A and B are shown apart, each in its own frame.
Chain A
Amino acid sequence: MRHHLVLRVVSKLLIPFMLLFALYVQFHGDFGPGGGFQAGVIFAAAFILYALVFGIDHAREVLPEHVLRYLVPAGLALYTLTGFAGIALGGKYLDYDVLGSTPTAGQHLGILLVEFGVGVTVSAVMVSVFFTFAGRTRDVDEEDW
């Protein structure tokens, strides 16, 4: 997409907003629609746009595969560990009440952690799935077209 100047400029303009929006959705999920999953998808979408316009190799430089390899499990691990934290602090699994000084504070902290875990895993999985699909080329068979 070397010649698409308009596209490149508009995308460059748009991507920061998408990332911001993803953060907004991630942390505003308590009040409005949205949450970790949606934020993760939007974050991944911003990345996909970047990869589409600037090429996947550039995108891989920004988010290398070995980093993704750790991000994919990190979110799930964070979620599970939040659950174990409930046990460690004397409650049940995934019991957020015990995480904070008051039950409500604990709930807030728990939800924050958990949603963050969801966001990380979802965005990392989506990006790596896209990379896997887009990074795979095949010999172009003309008759298929």
Chain B
Amino acid sequence: MAFLDHVAILQVAVPLLAAPLCVMLPGRHLPWALTLAVSWFTLVCSIVLLAEVSAGGSIAYHLGNWPPPIGIEYRVDAINALVLLVVSGISAVALPYARRSVEHEIEPDRHGLFYTAYLLCLTGLLGVTITGDAFNIFVFLEISSLSTYVLVAAGARLDRRALSAAYTYLVLGTVGATFFVLGVGLLYMVTGTLNIADLAERLPPLAESRVVQAAFAFVVAGMGLKLAMFPLHTWLPNAYAYAPSLVTVFLAATATKVSVYVLLRFVYTVFGHEFAFIEPVLAWLVLPLAVIAMLAGSVVAIHQDNLKRMFAWSSIAQIGYMMLGLALASASGLTATVLHLFNHALMKGALFMALGGVMLRIGAVSLASVRGLASEMPWTFAALVIGGLSLIGVPGTVGFVSKWYLILAAIEKGWWLLALLIVAASLLAVIYVWKLVEAAYLQPAPQDRERVRDMPPDMLIPLWVLALANIWFGIDAGLTTSVAGTVVNAFLGGGS
């Protein structure tokens, strides 16, 4: 069997096969090793896929050999190849890091189950990203969501609030998914198809239909819940704050990105942003909400004491940036969204990894508890600072690139105020990152805390891989912008 012919399906089917195997594995190390191997395998797959589609073409894979509208099809183009790369890449980097962190945070006899849930989450996210079928998105979204609830709840060993966070997430996530299904059902009702490409072909004549309008509303609301779009974000801060470190790293870097991707896919491929009713929705609803998210998320983040929560709120603000780019519906705006999707994964991955290390060493991640810690864990905090700078958008980091495009998009439209607001939100980020830096570098360590060592190398290396990626892709943005360019062309050029 030719590997290349089947990469698209192997990408999802291999982790899916690994999940049941993982439950049967005894001990703590074997499940981890299997998960690690599978993650790297998916990374290889997504690199192959990205290489194949980066020329601008797309790969289709017909499951069960049924032609598309009849069967389910996998379709990979530049945007989902990029998201696949983000998901599998973060997973591949996070897993070497995971071993110690999970050993510290999860009961020893639950590791097999924990890694199984993790594999299922990975499968779900990859499956959502790669599929070309609207209902299949729902199924895999639920695989990833259910496993996410479990993974978040696994943090209850250290803090019981993980349970209530997981519960809230479960209720809101299920409402979101059900809205999404309802939207897909409405679309099916008027088109008779579930295939995304087929939908895109059959929808334009129906643009006036109220059913299509309602379908759009439900898809946006459903995905809005899943991606924590302001004001549907209430589940996110606690879920990220009390989940085990590995889970926070993985989720913060990937889960919301996949939902953003689905929204992009629906707004730009399925509906097409030229639909008469979509433009006002983007301009008058999504855009203001995105701006509020940007500012409010940052302001709330400033007032947080728990660092994981601080960065969780900052995630809400960052999702605001992505939604802003989406709502601007211009070439530079979309470029910014696509870039930020990639870049935010890098920064949040690095930041939460560093915090996971702090958690491992001192068992808490509050501002007060990290006082003076930078001298004891220099490498960890150096990476943390790089991530923070990237979050602010300092030139030379990835954060700068995406914000640059965003501001460009605002100026192109002549909306100077919006550009100013983007800058203002970045300045707010300076405040909370500074609070962290001040505590870690400038304040003395509390007397009663024992001195700790820096993170072990197997955790530091993944952290620094991400931190350096933040700088690398900030200086040489060629690869990401070229992919983003292809995406934007596909969305805005051929989207009619």
Give chain A's interface residues, CB within 8 Å of chain B: 69-70, 72-74, 76-77, 80-81, 83-84, 86-88, 90-97
Contacts and interface: CB of A to CB of B under 8 A. Distances in A.
Nearest to B16: A80
A73 B13 contact: no
Contact of B63 (A70, A88, A94): A94
B65 A95 contact: yes
A81 B20 CA distance: 11
A76 B119 CA distance: 14
B19 A86 contact: no
B61 interface: yes
B468 interface: no
A81 B17 contact: yes
Contact of A92 (B20, B23, B62): B62
A106 B250 CA distance: 40
B20 A93 contact: no
B6 interface: yes
B64 interface: yes
B13 A80 contact: yes
A70 B64 contact: no
A91 B71 CA distance: 15
A92 B17 contact: no
Contacts of B62: 92
A92 B63 contact: yes
Contact of A88 (B1, B13, B23): B1
Secondary structure of the A contact surface, majority rule = helix
A107 to B, nearest CB: 10
A90 B2 CA distance: 9
A73 B24 contact: yes
B64 A86 contact: yes
A63 B471 CA distance: 56
26 contacts: A70-B24, A72-B20, A72-B23, A73-B21, A73-B23, A73-B24, A74-B20, A77-B17, A80-B20, A83-B13, A86-B64, A86-B65, A87-B1, A87-B6, A90-B1, A91-B65, A92-B61, A92-B62, A92-B63, A92-B65, A93-B6, A93-B9, A93-B61, A93-B63, A94-B64, A95-B64
B455 to A, nearest CB: 34
B64 A93 contact: yes
A93 B65 CA distance: 8
Nearest to A75: B20
A96 B64 CA distance: 7
B352 to A, nearest CB: 30
Contacts of B19: 73, 76
Given A95-B65, A96-B64, A84 B17 contact: yes
Contacts of B20: 72-74, 76-77, 80
A111 B315 CA distance: 45
Contacts of A88: 1
A56 B479 CA distance: 60
Residue of B1, B16, B63, B64 ringed by the most chain A CB atoms within 10 A = B64
Interface string B6-43: 10010001001101110110000000000000000000
Interface string B41-77: 0000000000000000000011111000000000000
Contacts of B17: 77, 80-81, 84
